[in-house]
């Protein structure tokens, strides 16, 4: 399965400009044999949190049809990063998964809000457990940025059978060391691929790190994006590596969860 990651300079508070960027990217940057594209976190409005009341989508009514049309037009699955998504009870940070047939098969609301950015002031936390979905037979989970710091969530997806966990983010350069090591740890401890799509732009004085990753379950780096620079990252993954590594080091069979309480 081959992925294309858009390490995108998100334009704060400008959904139409960001949609235009994604259209252009899919028309000019994608190679024909890519199966799945991955977008970063909050790509519609960025981290202009105090302006989300104006710029958040209304329960996906604009963005979801836009993504469905793109998926069908280009014959690509879209792991659509996440967007600012306004519902009756507030604004959520929501990820959508669209198949190449234009079907919405999964959505996830970010459950861990970043206290350092006052996300809890502007956003609602997701209230549902993490779940997995399938694309071309591959079992996949998705988490959003700060979620990466919570091994319980990542392990829950692995226990559901995730062979790949996608991390969509706007992770800052100031904490890029954490970004680096946490992804390696999550790949190794859950024996799955970690594929991340990070932003590379800037918002309100915060520079985002870029450095999107594809990491094998063994901890081997497949590829990575450049620092703080917009880029397209292409990587092919092999599910047999997941199967073999889980056979070679059977951590899931070795677990004793009744002793962990």
Quickly name the fold that domain 2-249 has: Nitrilase/N-carbamoyl-D-aminoacid amidohydrolase (3.60.110)
Confidence of residue 138 (pLDDT cuts 50, 70, 90): very high
Catalytic residue among 21, 68, 76, 145: 145
- Report pLDDT for 30: 86
Confidence of residue 31 (pLDDT cuts 50, 70, 90): confident
pLDDT digits (tens, 9 = 90+) for 183-231: 999 999 999 999 999 999 999 999 999 999 999 999 999 999 999 999 9
Q: How many CB atoms lie within 10 A of CB 75?
A: 11
Q: Which residues of 90-118 are buried (b: 16+ CB within 10 A; e: fewer)?
A: ebbbbbbbbbbebebebbbbbbbbbeebe
- Give the residue, 261 or 81, on which the prediction is more confident: 81
Catalytic residue among 76, 100, 110, 139: 110
Is 110 part of the annotated catalytic residue set? yes
Share of the chain above pLDDT 90, in %: 97
Say which range, 29-33, 137-141, 251-255, has the weakest mean pLDDT: 29-33
Decide if 207 contacts 200 (C-beta within 8 A): no
Closest CA to 59 of 26, 80, 89: 89
pLDDT digits (tens, 9 = 90+) for 36-88: 999 999 999 999 999 999 999 999 999 999 999 999 999 999 999 999 999 99
Is 145 part of the annotated catalytic residue set? yes
- Report pLDDT for 255: 97
Catalytic residue among 41, 163, 224, 228: 41
Strands (E), 61-171: 77-79, 83-87, 90-98, 104-109, 132-135, 138-144, 164-169
Structural domain boundaries in the chain:
2-249
- Report pLDDT for 32: 80
pTM of the entire structure? 0.97
Is 41 part of the annotated catalytic residue set? yes
Evaluate if residue 28 carries a pLDDT over 90: yes
Q: How many CB atoms lie within 10 A of CB 73?
A: 13
């Amino acid at each position: 399965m081959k992925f294309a990651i858009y390490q995108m300079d998100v334009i704060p508070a400008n959904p139409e400009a960001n949609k235009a960027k994604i259209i252009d990217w899919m028309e000019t940057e994608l190679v024909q044999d890519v199966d799945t594209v991955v977008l970063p976190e909050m790509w519609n409005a960025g981290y202009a949190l105090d302006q989300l009341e104006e710029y958040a989508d209304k329960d996906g009514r604009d963005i979801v049809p836009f993504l469905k049309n793109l998926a069908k037009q280009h014959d690509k699955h879209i792991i659509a990063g996440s967007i600012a998504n306004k519902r009756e009870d507030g604004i959520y940070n929501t990820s959508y998964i669209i198949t190449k047939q234009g079907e919405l098969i999964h959505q996830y609301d970010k459950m861990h809000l970043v206290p350092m950015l006052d996300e809890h002031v502007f956003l609602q936390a997701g209230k549902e457990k993490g779940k997995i979905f399938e694309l071309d037979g591959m079992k996949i989970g998705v988490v959003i940025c700060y979620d990466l710091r919570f091994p319980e969530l990542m392990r829950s997806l692995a226990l559901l059978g995730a062979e790949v966990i996608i991390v969509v983010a706007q992770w800052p350069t100031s904490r890029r060391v954490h970004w680096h090591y946490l992804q390696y740890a999550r790949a190794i401890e859950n024996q799955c691929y970690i594929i991340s799509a990070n932003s590379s732009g800037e918002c309100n004085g915060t520079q985002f790190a870029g450095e999107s990753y594809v990491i094998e379950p063994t901890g081997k780096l497949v590829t990575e994006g450049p620092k703080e620079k917009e880029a397209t990252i292409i990587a092919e993954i092999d599910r047999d590596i997941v199967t073999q590594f889980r056979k070679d080091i059977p951590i899931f069979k070795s677990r004793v969860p009744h002793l962990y309480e």
